[in-house]
Amino acid sequence: MQNRLPLTLDPIKTAQRKLDYVGYYPAQSATRVERLKSDIECSLSFYFDEQKLCVISVDAEVTLEQICQRCFKPFITHIKVKNKFSPVKNDAQAEALPDYYEPVFINELGEVDILALVEDEIILSLPIAPVHDSKHCEVSEADLVFGEIPVENEKPNPFAILASLKNKE
């Protein structure tokens, strides 16, 4: 049986105790991610690195439904995210962090909203225009080629208009 994970944690205290968590966030508590089809399974590690920076290592996976932007039918995607964060109190601390950590702000209680952090990672990992594998998509390849013509090319070509005017004469 998997454990339900805490929504918020004090990363400094948790890192001092070198705690790791493996468990899940129930789908119904992850309200910012749309169309979840599973709980969010998640592993969290808290530690201090060689530079004494507090690190929150996050691995999460979830199944969700997306709407294909080609045929507008839903399809199921499995999303995996993995990232390392370091808690900060202000922008100056955030800017001082090495590139390999993402800053995460701690609140006035010294805690990080871990569920929000995981939800943000999932949302950021989603494609802006999700589409089916072409073999599963109900819009054929021929339609697809037509559909991918950039918007600028859809403006009528002025020479084509002239040509059609000439043809009418």
User: Any idea how long the chain is?
Assistant: 169
Please identify, using beta-carbon distances, which residue of 67 and 97 lies nearer to Zn ion.
67
**Residue whose CB is nearest to Zn ion in the complex, by number:** 68
DSSP 8-state symbol, 36: B
For the record, the structure tokens of 159 come out as 């020479």
**How many Å apart are CA 104 and CA 87, to the nearest integer?**
5
Spatial neighbors of 21 by CB under 8 A, at least 6 apart, are 3, 5, 6, 42, 43, 44, 45
Binding site for Zn ion (CB under 5 A): 68, 70-71, 132, 137
Please identify, using beta-carbon distances, which residue of 37 and 82 lies nearer to Zn ion.
37
Q: How far is the CB of 34 from Zn ion (least distance, A)?
A: 18
Sign of the dihedral defined by the CA atoms of residues 105, 111, 116, 118, in that order: positive
Q: 96-116 burial by CB neighbour count: b if 16+ within 10 A, else e? A: ebeeebbbbebeeeebbbbbe
Q: How far is the CB of 16 from Zn ion (least distance, A)?
A: 49
Please identify, using beta-carbon distances, which residue of 70 and 85 lies nearer to Zn ion.
70
Q: How far is the CB of 133 from Zn ion (least distance, A)?
A: 9
Please identify, using beta-carbon distances, which residue of 12 and 137 lies nearer to Zn ion.
137
Q: How far is the CB of 101 from Zn ion (least distance, A)?
A: 37
Please identify, using beta-carbon distances, which residue of 20 and 138 lies nearer to Zn ion.
138
